């Protein structure tokens, strides 16, 4: 069953000097329920815009974006979104940050906290429930954001390079955590990243985007079994084969993006 | 081994020792500066300059003692102080609440803010202190005219900061809250208001000073009691010591209010990393 469908979705922003800047053009792809889709592309190509369209934070300039078969108008029900930069509330403790979603959705304070406690424990922050975000490390803040998103039990999770700011070891740890927590939720995931290894290690399918203005270049199936251990799986021949195949497709776009960047700069 | 065990505690003592030592030195230098300043003023006023115009510390001290023991020409000093404080506090509360509410609402309403911008700029350019005279005509010599003066002074100081604070809210936080299910009102109360709090507090420190100025100037322009009246009366009778004494009392009140505000700020903004809190600066 298809939960997300983009059909020729295009997004233009008012650019500098009056000329509209096209972030994404003619995006067409679908995501099925419970599927983990990674979107890779050169840095700054408009991958995040794709998520803004699905989340309803930005309406498309033309084309269609559908969630659960209905066109997106405003934020669709059951959508969770993990942003690239920290979006946890600095004035709330870990527990109250996680309880924010249920509170917004009308749960009483005690109930919301009870629900939040479960997720704070699941992401391994039980000892830090009363801490403020500035007292936590970058990886721990990501755990808070993850719990904050998952506590709402989303059917669609949008993730915008959520682990890109972390060091390599913490990133792998978080990738494992994400897979562990996601398995069993049945949620569809759209995971935007510029790291192809991360994309293959996590996803069922990888969508390769062109350089700016971005559109879908190709879509690859990832033939790796679940459950996966992201560290182990990188060593397998299947992983290397998939990497080689997708990188051949992505390489040209990365090169072109670099060329454009050096010309502009 | 023996040496190692004895060195450690001594080092700790040395560090805490330097810290208390530093504090003592800091305060003794500050105290010394005040003593030198007062002593030189006292000496100059006794030998060279005319204390009739410039007064001197002993005369000011005497006037303060006199006011607090026998009372002023208009009755007890506590009564005068209470009147001025009542005006200032009322003006501060009304002005701050109005400034915060309007600032935040306008900060989140782009179109309304654009419509209002030139009017607000014009209103801010008006020499508002002159309004004190107008308010006396409108509201008479009583409490209302002074509160009104304090309100206009406080309002603009707080308004601009609340406005800026509401505009500078991190878009990410707002988007995150909306995704998590927050309504427009919930975004306002749970994201915008807490974000703007640091900005608002920055202005509140100055705003209580403005409230006192508004109350005193209001009394100065026309009143039958209050600190401003005492100062106006001192000016009328060429009593320089009286003006200084009034000034000192108001300064002490302003410092106390500042201290209370800092306590409240630290309580409300507990979540900030310690490096950012304004500890010793205001203490």
pLDDT tens-digit profile of B237-281? Answer: 998 999 999 999 999 999 999 999 999 988 888 888 775 444 444
A57 touching chain B per CB within 8 A: yes
pLDDT at B12: 55
Asked whether the beta carbons of A140 and A125 are under 8 A apart, the reply is yes
Asked whether the beta carbons of B176 and B120 are under 8 A apart, the reply is no
Domain limits of chain B? 2-49, 56-273
The total of other beta-carbon atoms located within 10 Å of residue B72's CB is: 22
CA–CA dist A257, A264 (Å, integer):
10
pLDDT tens sequence across A195-231:
999 999 999 999 999 987 889 999 999 999 988 999 8
Q: Which residues of A touch B182 (CB under 8 A)?
A: 100, 104
pLDDT tens sequence across B84-93:
999 999 999 9
Instruction: Tell me if B194 and A91 make a contact (CB, 8 A cut-off).
Output: yes
Instruction: Tell me if B176 and A132 make a contact (CB, 8 A cut-off).
Output: no
CATH T-level assignment (fold) for domain B56-273: MetI-like fold (1.10.3720)
Residue A265 has pLDDT above 80, yes or no: no
Write the residue in A79, A86, A89 that is nearest to B179 by C-beta. A79
pLDDT at A212: 79
Whole-prediction pTM: 0.80
B22 Cβ contact partners less than 8 Å away, ≥ 6 residues apart? none
CA–CA dist A188, B193 (Å, integer):
34
A71 touching chain B per CB within 8 A: no
pLDDT at A206: 96
**CA dist B197 → B103, B112, B158, B200 (Å):** 12, 22, 11, 5
Residue A33 has pLDDT above 80, yes or no: yes
Q: What angle do CA B260, B264, B268 make, to 5 degrees?
A: 170
Collapsing DSSP to helix, strand or coil, B73 comes out as coil
Residue B78 has pLDDT above 70, yes or no: yes
| % of chain A residues with pLDDT over 90 | 75
pLDDT at B182: 93
Write the residue in A87, A105, A133 that is nearest to B176 by C-beta. A87
CA–CA dist B27, B249 (Å, integer):
22
B198 touching chain A per CB within 8 A: no
Q: What is the DSSP code (8-state) at residue A226?
A: S
Instruction: Tell me if A100 and B190 make a contact (CB, 8 A cut-off).
Output: yes
Residues spanned by CATH 3.40.50.300 within chain A?
A: 1-78+154-248
- Best mutation target, B178, B179, B194, to test chain A (most A CBs within 10 A): B179
Q: Which residues of B touch A148 (CB under 8 A)?
A: 176, 180
Chain A residue nearest residue B193, CA to CA: A91
CA–CA dist A201, A183 (Å, integer):
14
Interface of B with A in 120-179 (CB under 8 A): 170, 172-173, 175-179
- Best mutation target, A90, A130, A133, A190, to test chain B (most B CBs within 10 A): A90
Q: Which residues of B touch A100 (CB under 8 A)?
A: 177, 180, 182, 190
Q: Which residues of A141-157 are buried (b: 16+ CB within 10 A; e: fewer)?
A: bbbbbbbbbbbbebbbb
Write the residue in B175, B180, B270 that is nearest to A100 by C-beta. B180
Helix, strand, coil distribution of chain A in percent, nearest 5: 40, 25, 35
Q: Which residues of B touch A133 (CB under 8 A)?
A: 271
CA–CA dist B140, B124 (Å, integer):
24
CA distance B268 to chain A (A): 9
Write the residue in B179, B182, B273 that is nearest to A80 by C-beta. B179
Write the residue in A55, A85, A133 that is nearest to B179 by C-beta. A55
Instruction: Tell me if B172 and A85 make a contact (CB, 8 A cut-off).
Output: yes
Comparing CA positions, the residue from A108, A51, A102, A47 lying closest to residue A76 is A51
Cα A111 → chain centroid = 28
Query: The domain at A1-78+154-248 falls in which architecture?
Result: 3-Layer(aba) Sandwich (3.40)
């Amino acid at each position: 069953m298809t939960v997300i469908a983009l059909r020729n979705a295009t997004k233009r922003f008012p650019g500098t000097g009056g000329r509209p800047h096209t972030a994404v053009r003619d995006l067409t792809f679908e995501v099925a329920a419970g599927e983990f889709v990674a979107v890779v592309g050169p840095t700054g190509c408009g991958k995040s815009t794709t998520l803004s369209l699905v989340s309803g934070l930005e309406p498309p300039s033309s084309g269609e974006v559908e969630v659960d078969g209905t066109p997106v108008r405003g934020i669709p029900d059951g959508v969770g979104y993990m942003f690239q930069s920290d979006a946890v509330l600095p004035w709330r403790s870990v527990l109250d940050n996680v309880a924010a979603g249920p509170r917004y959705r009308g749960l009483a304070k005690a109930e919301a906290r009870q629900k939040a406690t479960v997720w704070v424990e699941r992401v391994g922050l039980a000892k830090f429930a009363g801490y403020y975000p500035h007292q936590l490390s970058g990886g721990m803040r990501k755990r808070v954001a993850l719990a904050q998103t998952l506590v709402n039990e989303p059917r669609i999770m949008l993730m915008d390079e959520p682990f890109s700011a972390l060091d390599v070891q913490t990133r792998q740890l978080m990738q494992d955590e994400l897979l562990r927590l996601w398995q069993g939720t049945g949620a569809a995931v759209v995971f935007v990243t510029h790291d192809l290894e991360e994309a293959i290690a996590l996803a069922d399918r990888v969508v390769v985007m062109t350089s700016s203005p971005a559109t879908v270049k190709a879509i690859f199936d990832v033939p790796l079994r679940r459950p996966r251990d992201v560290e182990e799986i990188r060593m397998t021949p299947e992983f290397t084969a998939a990497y080689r195949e997708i990188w051949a497709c992505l390489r040209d776009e990365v090169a072109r993006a670099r060329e454009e960047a050096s010309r502009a700069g | 081994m023996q040496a190692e065990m004895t060195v450690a505690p001594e080092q700790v003592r040395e560090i805490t020792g330097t810290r208390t030592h530093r504090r003592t030195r800091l305060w003794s230098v500050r105290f010394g500066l005040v003593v030198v300043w007062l002593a030189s003023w006292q000496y100059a006023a006794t030998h060279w300059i005319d204390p009739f115009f410039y007064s001197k510390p002993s005369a000011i001290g005497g006037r303060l003692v006199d006011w607090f023991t026998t009372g002023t020409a208009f009755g007890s000093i506590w009564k005068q102080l209470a009147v001025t404080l009542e005006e200032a506090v009322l003006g501060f509360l009304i002005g701050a609440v109005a400034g915060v509410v309007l600032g935040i609402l306008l900060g989140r309403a782009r179109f309304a803010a654009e419509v209002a911008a030139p009017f607000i700029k014009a209103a801010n350019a008006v020499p508002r202190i002159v309004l004190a005279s107008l308010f006396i005509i409108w509201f008479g010599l009583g409490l209302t005219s002074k509160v009104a003066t304090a309100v206009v002074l406080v309002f603009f100081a707080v308004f601009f900061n609340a406005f800026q604070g509401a505009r500078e809210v991190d878009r990410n936080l707002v988007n995150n809250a909306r995704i998590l299910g927050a309504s427009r009102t919930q975004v306002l109360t749970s994201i915008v208001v807490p974000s703007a709090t640091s900005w608002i507090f920055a202005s509140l420190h100055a705003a209580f000073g403005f409230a006192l100025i508004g109350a005193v100037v209001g009394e100065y322009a026309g009143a039958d009691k209050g600190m401003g009246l005492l100062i106006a009366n001192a000016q009328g009778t060429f009593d320089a010591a009286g003006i200084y004494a009034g000034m000192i009392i108001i300064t002490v009140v302003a410092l106390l209010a500042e201290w209370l505000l800092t306590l409240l700020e630290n309580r409300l903004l507990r979540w900030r990393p310690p490096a950012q809190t304004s500890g010793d600066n205001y203490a």
